Amino acid sequence: MRRLEDFRLHLGNHELVPIVIGGMGVDISTAGLALEGARLGGIGHISDAMVQTVSDRRFHTRFVSNKAKLYKYNAANSDKSAVIFDLGQLAEATHNHIGKTMEAKRGDGLIFINCMEKLTMNGPRETLRVRLRSALDAGIDGITLSAGLHLNSFALMEDHPRFRDAKLGIIVSSLRAFQLFLRKTARLGRLPDFVVVEGPLAGGHLGFGMDWADYDLITITTEIHRYLVAEQLNIPIIAAGGIFTGSDAVTYLESGCAAVQVATRFTVTRECGLPDNLKQEYFSAAKNDIEVNLISPTGYPMRMLKGSPAIGAGNRPNCEAYGYLLDGSGNCAYITSYNREVAAHPDAKKVSVPDKTCLCTHMRNFTCWTCGQNTYRLKDTSHRLSDGSYQLLTAEHVFRDYQFSTEHNIALPD
Ligand SMILES: Cc1cc2nc3c(=O)[nH]c(=O)nc-3n(C[C@H](O)[C@H](O)[C@H](O)COP(=O)(O)O)c2cc1C
C-alpha cells in the first residue's frame, strides 16, 4: 500500500514532498500556514488578494485607510472610475507581505503566491504587472496564476531577472484553457514549471459553470496528462479539488500527477487565518449547508456555506477603500445590483442584494465563508470536545496525515 511519502515532486533542483497547500485569499492561507508547508518539505501558498489589507493587519501600515480617505469624496458616487490604486503603494504592500514571509522561511520546501487575474483593480494590466513583478522582487519562490486565463501574465514578467529562475505555473480546469495558455506563452520560450488542475469540488471560485457537477477531476487530469505525454512536454501536474485523504492523493500520483494541492482540510488548523469561531462553522457544516452560487461579481461560480452573511447582504460598495474587483472602467457587478435595489426601495434604510455580493468587503471581514465541497467531512478529522466545539488541528498534523496515511484513514489529533 503506497503512501504519499513514497513519491516526490521534482521542480528544477528541488525535491519536495508532493503536498501543496493551496492559496486561500484573503489571508486565509496565512504566512504561518504557508511557512509550515515549506518547513515540512512541501509547498505553501500565501495569496496577494487584498494585499494592502493584509499588510495593514500584519505590519500596521495604513494603506487602506489612506486610500479610503483619499477617495472619500466619491463614496456616494456610483461611478468608481476615479478610484485607482497607487502602484508604488501596491508594490510596497506586496513587498511587506512576501518579504517578511520569505525571511521567516525554514526547511527545504517552497513558498508560492497565488495571484488571481480576476482582481482587476480598476487597471487590470498595470496592477497585475506590479503584483507579479514585486512578488519576484520580494524573493517569492514561485507564482501560481489563478482565476483567469492569464494569457499575458508571463509577458508581463518577461524581462524580469527572475523570470526564468522563479517557479511559475497556472491553475486551469480544462485542457482547453491550458492549451490556450501554452499557445499564448510559446513565443517566450519558457514553459510553465507546473500546472495545477483544479476540479469542481474545490473551494473559492470555480473554473466551471453551474454545471460543475457534470465534471470530475480525474477525467481532466488524465486528459491533460495524455496531452502532455503526446506533446512530450515535461510539466508536472498538480491535482486539486476534493482530495481529502492521503489515499485520495496517491490515486492521483499513480495516475500520472506529480503532486496534489489541498486546502479544505487546512481551514480548521490553528495556522489558518479564519477566525477560530468560524473554523467551528466549517467543522460542524453538513453537506446540505454548502452551495455553489453566482453571487461573486467576478462572474465565476463560488462555493460557500449557505450561512455566509455575504449572501443577500446590501452594504454600500466599499470601492474607495478596497476596489479590487473594479474592471478597467471602474465597474463592478455588485455596484449595478446594489444601485438597482436602492432605486427599487427608495425609502429603505438598508437594502438586501440577492444576486451579487460586495466580495471585497465580505472576504476582508470573513463574512463570505467560501469552502470546499468536502467541508462537511471535517468533523471526522478531529475530536468533539465536551463543550460541543471541535479541537483545532495543527497544520503539521494535517500535512503529516496526508503524507503518511493509508487506506483512507484519517489520524485524529492527540
Ligand atoms: C477557504 C478557501 C479559499 C480559497 N481561496 C482561493 C483563492 O483565493 N485563490 C485560488 O486560486 N484558490 C482558492 N481556493 C482553492 C484552493 O487553493 C484549492 O485549490 C482547492 O480548494 C483544493 O481543494 P480542497 O479544498 O478540496 O482540498 C480556496 C479554497 C478554500 C477552501
User: What is the tens place of the pLDDT at every residue in 149-165?
Assistant: 999 999 999 999 999 99
| Cα(368)–Cα(40) distance, integer angstroms | 30
- Structure confidence at residue 44 (pLDDT): 98
| Cα(42)–Cα(288) distance, integer angstroms | 33
Ligand 1 site, residue 200, Cβ cutoff 6 A:
no
Give me ligand 1 centre to Cα 370, in Å: 8
Ligand 1 site, residue 47, Cβ cutoff 6 A:
yes
Ligand 1 site, residue 170, Cβ cutoff 6 A:
no
Of all protein residues, whose CA lies closest to atom 1 belonging to ligand 1?
A: 371
- Structure confidence at residue 1 (pLDDT): 87
| Cα(178)–Cα(234) distance, integer angstroms | 14
| Cα(80)–Cα(71) distance, integer angstroms | 10
Count of Cβ atoms closer than 10 Å to residue 13 Cβ:
5
Question: Roughly what angle, to the nearest 10 degrees, separates helices 31-39 and 87-103?
Answer: 40
Q: What is the mean pLDDT of residues 169-190?
A: 97
Ligand 1 site, residue 261, Cβ cutoff 6 A:
yes
| Cα(249)–Cα(259) distance, integer angstroms | 8
The 10s digit of each residue's pLDDT in 206-254 is 999 999 999 999 999 999 999 999 999 999 999 999 999 999 999 999 9
C-alpha grid cell for residue 399?
500535512
Ligand 1 site, residue 238, Cβ cutoff 6 A:
no
Which residues have CB under 8 Å from 290's CB, separation 6+?
A: 303, 304, 305, 306, 371, 373, 375, 376
- Structure confidence at residue 36 (pLDDT): 98
Name the nearest CA neighbour of 7 among 315, 99, 15, 111: 15
The 10s digit of each residue's pLDDT in 273-318 is 999 999 999 999 999 999 999 999 999 999 999 999 999 999 999 9
The 10s digit of each residue's pLDDT in 37-93 is 999 999 999 999 999 999 999 999 999 999 999 999 999 999 999 999 999 999 999
Using DSSP bridges, classify how beta strands 9-11 and 14-16 pair: parallel, antiparallel or unpaired.
antiparallel
Q: What is the mean pLDDT of residues 3-22?
A: 98
Give me ligand 1 centre to Cα 256, in Å: 22
Ligand 1 site, residue 24, Cβ cutoff 6 A:
yes
CB 37 within 8 A of CB 23: no
Q: What is the mean pLDDT of residues 370-397?
A: 98
- Residue 121, sorted as left (phi over 0), alpha (psi -120 to 50) or beta, turns out to be left
pLDDT over 90 at 96, yes or no: yes
Q: Which of 218, 245, 264, 308 to mutate to test the pocket of ligand 1 (most atoms within 8 A of CB)?
A: 264
Q: What is the mean pLDDT of residues 191-203?
A: 98
Of all protein residues, whose CA lies closest to atom 5 belonging to ligand 1?
A: 24
pLDDT over 90 at 366, yes or no: yes
Q: What is the largest CA-CA distance in the chain?
A: 66
Ligand 1 site, residue 116, Cβ cutoff 6 A:
yes
Question: Which residue segments constitute the domains of the chain, with CATH numbers given?
Answer: 4-273+383-404 (3.20.20.70)
C-alpha grid cell for residue 200?
469542481
Phi first, then psi, for residue 55 (nearest 5°) are: -65, -40
Ligand 1 site, residue 359, Cβ cutoff 6 A:
no
pLDDT over 90 at 29, yes or no: yes
CB 308 within 8 A of CB 368: yes
The 10s digit of each residue's pLDDT in 318-344 is 999 999 999 999 999 999 999 999 999
Ligand 1 site, residue 201, Cβ cutoff 6 A:
yes
Query: In this structure, which long-range contacts are made by residues 332-339, counting pairs with CB atoms below 8 Å and at least 24 apart in sequence?
Result: 332/80, 332/297, 333/297, 333/299, 334/297, 334/358, 334/359, 335/78, 335/80, 338/314, 339/78
* Residue whose entry in the numeric block shows the C-alpha cell 494541492: 261
Q: Identify the bridge partners of residue 198 per DSSP, sorted by sequence position.
A: 240
Phi first, then psi, for residue 297 (nearest 5°) are: -65, -10
- Structure confidence at residue 141 (pLDDT): 98
| Cα(414)–Cα(406) distance, integer angstroms | 19
Give me ligand 1 centre to Cα 229, in Å: 27
CB 73 within 8 A of CB 383: no
